[in-house]
Chain A
Amino acid sequence: MQHVVLILFVVVTYLALAALSAMVAIAPTDAWTVWLASGIALGVLLATSIARWPVVLAGALIGAALFALWLGSPWLEALGYGVIEVVAAFAGAYFTSRFTGLPARLELPRDLAALVLAGALPLSIVGAVLATAWHMVSGGTQAASTFGIWFVANFVGTVLIAPLIIAWAAFRPKRSGGLAMPAFAAGAAACALYVISMHLLFDNHFQRAGVIAHIGLTYVPMVFMALTALLWGVRGATLAAFLGAVIAIINTAQQEGPFANANGIVAEGELQVQGYAVALALTGLLIAVLAASQRAAMQRARDWRTRFETAIDAHRMLAYEWDPASGRMAVTGDTLHLLGVPSSALATLADWLALVAGDERDGIAARFEARRDGQGTGDSVAYRVRGNADNVVEVTDEARAVRDHDGALHRVVGIVRIVPATAA
């Protein structure tokens, strides 16, 4: 049952995007400006396990063949076209999976690079080569242009659609967590501004109204795309890229916007809008992926800190770093529960010494001075400090000197351990 649903999804999506591609075509020939359907099979292949690949490829074959039949192609030609789509998608998915694993994620710049360079590029090349060969075998003569049109249309379509599918395939509704309402609202505002700016730029109705002068402000939507990608992440970036590409290509097809009738040559405007759509999509994706990788790095750092704090808290220990040059101190650990003061209140050595029992304070201060002046590497001392309930607790303080390459003292780092109480 799941397989049937998957095949139906691929077929229906393929046909829908193929129809959209035909609709936004600039040149009224068999060459589409952007072949959005090419990204479907690759995206679904990368979003699923390898065990489902035959099912996905079967769906792509059926979808492509049906679309060709709808265009009036004979059975054999329709089947051949389907085979080209399947082989190209398989090639792209195979190479990408070598670098990212399955199911693919867009969480690191490396994932994005793999999708573009090992996925979209091989898919476009393989598809273009096979289509050109078919064209030549069928008696065609325009090998270069056939190759170029197939390559560019497939590449643009794949860069727009495959990331969209990969990003949204990983979406899981949650009770809490994920994108919260304030971030969503801010992202929605950025996305709305992005769509509006694209209309202002590409729709002649607005240009005639003088909202944006026809001065080629093609970079303006980039700002809002960047904001959308930052606030909405990869899913928002892929959605915005798709919407922007459709707006740009439809208007250009209607001879509107900055790329219409470039130098009076339709093909040149077509190429420009294709490049623009790819640049827009990759910019948004790159920003979103960089932000995601930064969040992942912060999460790893938080996990590391949690593990460290768990360990030292469980041992009733504190860690400190003392800068002898400035007297500043940084204490890590649960100072509030162990000593009754927050760690922020222990910002200098003087703060720390204030906790030391009065009769030992001078001695411990001298000890720290010795650590500053001495040439040794380590020093251990036991003394008493004020506890969390104004009681007195015993601690052991093991310090180590951290020296630079010349042997000069850089920092003194130490571990303070609260000695377990043995008496009431």
Chain B
Amino acid sequence: MNETAVASVPAAKAASGVASTVPVPAATATAGTPDGAFLVHGLGGTQYDLGSMHKRLKNAGLVTHSLTLPGHGTTPEDLANVTAEDWIDAVVTKYREIRDQHPRLHVMGMCMGSLLAAVVAQREQHEKGNLVMLAPPVYIDGWATPWYRSLRPLLYTLPAVRNSMKIEEEDPFGIKNEQLRAIVKAKFERGENFHYRWVPLECIRQVDRLRAIVMKAASRIRCPTLIVHARQDELTSLRSANFLVETIGGGRARMVVLEDSYHMVCVDNDREIVAKNVLEFFGAALPGATAALVNDPRMSREDLATAVGAATARLATGDFAGLRELAIPDLTWVQPGTNRVSGVHAGKTYAAFASRMAQGGDPRLVAFGTPVFNRGVALVPATLTASNDEAILESQGALLFAFHGGKLLEARWFADDVEREDAFFGAPEPVVEGVVSLDTAFETAAATSKTLRKAPDNDTLLALYSLYKQASMGDASGERPSALDMVNRAKFDAWTKRKGVGREEAMREYVALVDKLKAAEA
């Protein structure tokens, strides 16, 4: 359900101006199929343009789809022969491919991607979901656009110039937050391929053509539309958003104005506001149990009862790690008290919590009472039991589950007697000042692995993958991929070979391997 369908065609094909997706027979949405979201990146960009929107949408239970636009993902020179029609064709093709796979399909784009999303919405008479336009550049008139911007139509008349002139990305890179900007600057200096450093002038001409198409088409958009625009957008002023709201009209379009961001709204200071508004607009789950009370859970009471039953069955056997299979990737577990297992464990740290629980005297949640349901939330009386050589724990309390779209978002244990649990599990591990924790070292190594200039050989890549999975998710689970899916099969096998390796050992090995690769580069 949370699979990301990123178009993964060879880079050369993506650059050739051919639509970057291969049409496949459309699957028909069946009951229980989650909603989908189709995300389109901007000019010269990649999915980095959309920040963590993929992850947030997945966490909210949506399946995300994206594509690499023609001319992108390779080198800027490949943009020279790409036309606005090529981009439109690629997006329309992808849209038609995925349209019938979901009961609702939302379309969202960033910058030029938002113009393409609008064209798709108009041409396909998209009414199967909503449309989100992030920083749409209908007018190129932001406060930092250079003085010679109005001269470009003159240069368009000279083919040699428009094909050879490079239009560079420059400070402030669309980012107001100076720390983030420094990171983006460093990425450019390292030559990371997350965004082109320049685009040909011809490419700007194609964007201008696309702008003209959107100006004509906007009035024929039929779906509810959300336009998110920063007041201080340095590339395109609020005039663009106002134009779209007025032109789409009919009460279908509304606008969110951001006050603390520049153009890259998904990564800048207001990214949380953007995410919240987009999730709300898509009717998706907002994070947290409280939000589950507010949102439409997109589950019937029966579905909720079944989901709670599945979760309690896992917990009754002490399978805290297995609970993740029923949950979103960022499952949060809140454990009260001041002890070895207490705290807020979310996302990657959940695996550490499950591992600690497994070492904590075989804890289980048993003696479940009758659940109480309210929208997507269920409250279940239960008893936490555990035992070791010295003591037996029987702690009564209640377990609160928050669900959305069939997936567990959050679980909170409320113990009647927290001190009893503190006594049983023991004091938390002291925080050693000045010493980097293994978790931190692991996360740092994971980030570092993405900055390796030279791709490691296949064996090393498999070792990195398997150690990472073992450290973050524990033993391999699920079905072994088919022999035709060679890459994923090899990855799965490599992970399976690590079975039984402890989380901390896997983390240490992973950190050591990344350090070794980085040192070799130096």
Using a CB–CB cutoff of 8 Å, the interface residues on chain A facing chain B are 172-185, 302-303, 305-307, 309-310, 313, 419-424
- Beta-carbon contact of B146 and A173 below 8 Å: yes
Given known contacts A181-B145, A313-B179, is B166 in contact with A423 (CB within 8 Å)? no
A175 close to B431 (CB less than 8 A): no
Cα–Cα distance between A309 and B171 once the two chains are bound (Å): 19
If A176-B146, A181-B145, A419-B431 touch, does A424 touch B337 (CB 8 Å cutoff)? yes
Given A172-B166, A177-B171: A422 and B343 interface contact (C-beta under 8 Å): yes
* Nearest CB of chain B from residue A274's CB, rounded to whole Å: 32
Q: Which 5 A-B pairs have the closest CB atoms?
A: A184-B147, A177-B170, A423-B338, A174-B170, A422-B428
Q: How far is the CA of A180 from the CA of B335 in the complex (A)?
A: 53
Quick one: given A184-B147, A424-B336, are A173 and B344 in contact (CB under 8 Å)? no
Closest to A180 in B: B144
Give complex CA distance A179, B343 in Å.
Answer: 51
How near does chain B come to A184, taking the closest CB pair, in angstroms? 3
What distance in Å separates the Cβ of A315 from its nearest Cβ neighbour in chain B?
10
**Central interface residue in A172, A185, A309, by most chain B CB within 10 Å:** A172
Interface centre among B165, B172, B182 (most CB of A within 10 A): B182
Bound complex: CA A423 to CA B415 (Å): 14
Task: Give the residues from 143 to 192 in chain B that come closer than 8 angstroms, CB to CB, to chain A.
Answer: 143-149, 165-172, 174, 178-179, 181-182
| Contact, CB under 8 Å: B146 / A310 | no
Can you sample 9 A-B contacts with CB below 8 Å?
A: A173-B148, A176-B235, A179-B146, A302-B178, A307-B182, A309-B178, A422-B428, A422-B431, A423-B338
User: Contact between A175 and B428 (Cβ–Cβ < 8 Å)?
Assistant: no
Residue from A176, A182, A185 having most chain B Cβ neighbours under 10 A: A176
- Report how far A175 CA is from B44 CA in the complex, Å: 11
- Contact call B169/A175, Cβ cutoff below 8 A: yes
Choose from B146, B166, B337, B344 the contact partner of A178 (Cβ within 8 Å). B146
Q: Are A306 and B146 in contact (CB under 8 A)?
A: no
**Separation of A313 and B179 alpha carbons in the complex (Å):** 10
Bound-state CA distance A422–B337 (Å) is 9
Which residues from chain A contact B146 at a C-beta distance below 8 Å? 173-174, 176-181, 184
CA distance A419 to B338 in the complex (A): 14
Q: Give chain B residues whose Cβ lies under 8 Å from the Cβ of A172.
A: 166, 168
List chain A residues, Cβ under 8 A from B472: none
Q: State whether B182 touches A310 (Cβ < 8 A).
A: yes
B199 contacts the other chain (Cβ, under 8 Å)? yes
Contacting residues, chain B, for A305 (C-beta < 8 A) = 178
Q: Are A176's CB and B335's CB within 8 A?
A: no
Question: Closest CB of chain A to B198's CB: distance in Å?
Answer: 8
Hey, which chain B residues are within 8 Å of A302, CB to CB?
178
> In the bound complex, do residue B170 and residue A306 qualify as a contact, i.e. CB atoms below 8 Å apart?
no
Q: How far is the CB of B264 from chain A (nearest CB, A)?
A: 11
State A423–B263 Cα separation when bound (angstroms): 39
Using known A-B contacts A174-B168, A175-B235, determine if residue A306 contacts B179 with beta carbons closer than 8 Å. yes
B49 contacts the other chain (CB 8 A): no
Q: Whole-angstrom distance between the alpha carbons of A302 and B165 in the complex?
A: 31
User: Are A420 and B178 in contact, with the CB atoms below 8 A?
Assistant: no
Known: A174-B167, A176-B144, A424-B344. A181 touches B334 (CB 8 A): no
Q: Are B149 and A423 in contact (CB under 8 A)?
A: no
Q: Give 6 new A-B contacts, CB below 8 A, not counting A175-B235, A184-B146, A424-B344.
A: A174-B169, A181-B145, A306-B179, A422-B428, A423-B343, A424-B336
Bound complex: CA A309 to CA B343 (Å): 28
Query: Knowing A310-B182, A424-B336 touch, does A177 contact B172 (C-beta < 8 A)?
Result: yes
B142 within 8 A of A: yes
Which residue of chain B has its CB nearest to the CB of A179?
A: B147
- Tell me how far the C-beta of B250 lies from the nearest C-beta in chain A, rounded to whole angstroms: 33
Interface pair A175/B336, CB less than 8 Å apart? no
Return chain B residues, CB-CB under 8 Å to A173: 146, 148, 165-168, 201
Most interface-central of A175, A185, A307 (chain B CB within 10 A): A175
Residues of A within 8 A of B178 (CB): 302, 305-306, 309
Nearest residue, chain B, Cβ from A396: B433
B-chain residues with CB within 8 Å of residue A313 when the two chains form the complex = 179
Contact B166 A176 (CB under 8 A): no
> Is A310 a contact partner of B338 (Cβ separation < 8 A)?
no
Contact (Cβ within 8 A) B234 A423: no
Given contacts A172-B168, A424-B342, contact A181 B147 (CB under 8 A): yes
Output the nearest chain B residue to A175 by Cβ-Cβ distance.
Answer: B167
The CA of A82 and the CA of B330, in the complex, are separated in Å by 74
Contacts of B167 in A (CB 8 A): 173-175
Residues of B within 8 A of A420 (CB): 431
Is A303 in contact with B182, judged by CB distance below 8 angstroms? yes
In the complex the two chains form, what is the Cα distance from A220 to B9 in whole Å? Answer: 65
Q: Which residues of B contact A181 (CB under 8 A)?
A: 145-147, 149
Asked if B145 and A180 sit within 8 Å, CB to CB, the answer is: yes
In the assembled complex, the CB of B163 is this many whole angstroms from the nearest CB of chain A, namely 14
| Distance to closest chain B CB from A110 (angstroms) | 24
If A172-B166, A177-B144, A180-B145 touch, whether A424 touches B335 (CB-CB below 8 Å) is yes
Is there contact, CB below 8 Å, between B179 and A310?
A: yes
Asked if A421 and B343 sit within 8 Å, CB to CB, the answer is yes
Q: B168 contacts A423, CB within 8 Å? A: no
- Chain A nearest CB from B492 CB (Å) reads 35
Within 8 A of A (CB), among B496-519: none
B201 shortest CB reach to chain A, Å: 7
Separation of A301 and B182 alpha carbons in the complex (Å) = 13
A319 to chain B, nearest CB (A): 16
In whole angstroms, how far apart are the Cα atoms of A307 and B181 in the complex? 11
| Contact call B342/A423, Cβ cutoff below 8 A | yes
